Structure 1
Amino acid sequence: MSLPSDLTELLRQPDALAIAVSGGVDSLCLSAAAVAARNGRNLTLCHAVSPAVPDAATKRVKAFATKRGLTLEIVDAGEFSDKRYRANPVNRCYFCKSNLYGTLTRLWGDRTVAAGTNLDDLGDYRPGLQAAEEHGILHPFVQARMTKADVRTLARSLGLGDIAELPASPCLASRIETGLRVEPAELAMIDAVETALRTELGEVTLRCRRLHTGLAIEMDRVLMDSLNSNRLAELTARAREASRQHGGEELTVTLRPYQRGSAFLHA
């Protein structure tokens, strides 16, 4: 298929391009578009692995790169060595992205580094965008005026299959309520709970929130309303079991409708 002309030009301009790939639809669609625009020339995919990155996302990125014969670099961005990030302040994302983009520009300073930010992302409070600006990160979808819906449409036209329909899933640290320290063990527990529930429900909008009061399992309201009380009780028990297996024995588990950013507490 033919890419939008302005996106094609943006992706062709850099002599060498490195794309920060998280494993979600935005960054994988940007990677596929870059392959089409550049014929794979001087293109590197960069994926940061840390306790905050679900294992399923890393597997998805590796499978994507292998299938297309692309160069994939796995890096440790080092955010877990940053006490500011670990403290989980309101602007935690700034410290995360500062470490990520600092690592990528240090390792690939001869390349333009791009990310899959889309136009809709600009409407949220995203301190990570400040870090991106400070490190000169390219946002081709933003410059091409593409929304999330546009990205999904492009992903379908590029033949990305199920990737095009992936629900949004930010890093696991976003599930931890502001002010609670970001701990690898708790991130592993969150990932285990979400993985267990997705085994039951499929790729649906789902969050396991670590709150000061315990765990809140959030799912799409329409899906939740379609499930009877027995099924909801089964899912709650499944989440509690997965939590206990990863050190959450004393945590209460509740089920509630999904609310975007509900673990984020403004000052």
Structure 2
Amino acid sequence: MTPKACKQSEALRIPEELKRLFLELDSVVVAFSGGVDSALVLRLAVAVLGPRRVVAAVADSASLPERDRSLVQAYADRLGVPLHMLATRELEDPRYAANPVDRCFFCKDELYSRFSALAAELGFAAVVDGTNADDVKAHRPGMAAAKKAGVRSPLLDAGLDKTAVRALARALDVPMWNKPASACLASRIPYNTRVSAEVLRQIDRAEQILLDNGFATVRVRHHGEIARIEVTPEMVPRLLHPDMRQRISTALKEVGYRYVTVDLDGYRSGSLNPPAQQEVRK
């Protein structure tokens, strides 16, 4: 297929409403996390506006898993757009570090402030994020920060839920189309337990151990000296196999945990949220 034919085929796969939304914006800074939602937004922005009117911005802090750093750079390079790794200082904000139920607001407020300043510096029209239609049903304090900063959410505005996001991402050859959902590392810490860079790095190392052992969807919930591991329910038996159990227990103790436990209910998105705000696994 010729480059022109590829471009035409790509255009046919992008819903008209999304094309309209991006064309109205003209130039964008994409709040990029490395997940499928923001990866799709970046892909759409480049397809509709061209790489010269798009930049990707990533919040560079201890909340970002180390494994995602090379991923975001590789994807930006693939699309031919500049990547700005902007240091954010949410950990210096005592309101964030105290880890209240609305912790995410203070993080996103810092993040969008940095991204909006970048957009102004570049003369770009808007900051856009990967919020989708399913997010409004969950506990998402960061959405208030996005509204405060005037951030646009094309996927939400076009009515795309997570299933539609993954389908479109797959059709447009976004490599993260089937990447498991993953919130920032601070989401592993129970509310009202202080967040620190040291604890976030400990969680990151612990989760990387599980990923290296073949568990694709993992959470290490941090309860002080206790690591509570969540994997998908079908993977719990594998994790509990004597050899694997011993390997993981030893490795997690080496990164600083005294006790290593497995949550027999398996992975649940938002399992540390207040009960009324927890998402139901479907």
Q: State TM-score, norm by structure 2.
A: 0.87
User: 1:21, 1:115 within 8 Å by CA — same for their partners in 2?
Assistant: yes
Name 1:135's counterpart in structure 2. Answer: 149
Q: Hey, what's the Cα distance between the residues in 2 that align with 1:145 and 1:265?
A: 27
Name 1:190's counterpart in structure 2. Answer: 203
Name 2:161's counterpart in structure 1. Answer: 147
User: 1:189, 1:242 within 8 Å by CA — same for their partners in 2?
Assistant: no
User: 1:176, 1:211 within 8 Å by CA — same for their partners in 2?
Assistant: yes
1:9-24 aligned at under 5 Å gives the runs 9-24=20-35
Name 2:249's counterpart in structure 1. Answer: 240
Q: Hey, what's the Cα distance between the residues in 1 that align with 2:239 and 2:246?
A: 14
Q: Deviations over 1:194-241 (max 9, x none)?
A: 111111115x2210000257210001112224x384x2x444433333
Q: Deviations over 1:108-142 (max 9, x none)?
A: 22430000000001100111000000000000000
Q: Which one is further off, 21-30 or 7-16?
A: 7-16
Identity %: 35
1:217 aligns with 2:242: no
Q: Which one is further off, 33-42 or 170-179?
A: 33-42
1:35 aligns with 2:56: no
Q: Hey, what's the Cα distance between the residues in 1 that align with 2:106 and 2:244?
A: 34
> What SS does structure 1 have at the residue aligned with 2:134?
helix
Q: Hey, what's the Cα distance between the residues in 2 that align with 1:118 and 1:234?
A: 40
How far does residue 14 in structure 1 lie from its aligned partner after superposition? 1.7
User: 1:176, 1:210 within 8 Å by CA — same for their partners in 2?
Assistant: yes
Distance 1:56 1:228, change over 3 A: closer
User: 1:185, 1:246 within 8 Å by CA — same for their partners in 2?
Assistant: no
Q: Which one is further off, 192-201 or 130-139?
A: 192-201
Match of 2:129 among 93, 104, 115: 115
Name 2:189's counterpart in structure 1. Answer: 176
Q: State TM-score, norm by structure 1.
A: 0.92
Total equivalences in the alignment:
260
Distance 1:223 1:247, change over 3 A: closer
User: 1:189, 1:247 within 8 Å by CA — same for their partners in 2?
Assistant: yes
Match of 1:261 among 250, 260, 270: 270
Q: C-alpha root-mean-square deviation of aligned residues, in Å?
A: 1.8
In structure 1, runs of 5+ residues without a counterpart are none
Name 1:157's counterpart in structure 2. Answer: 171
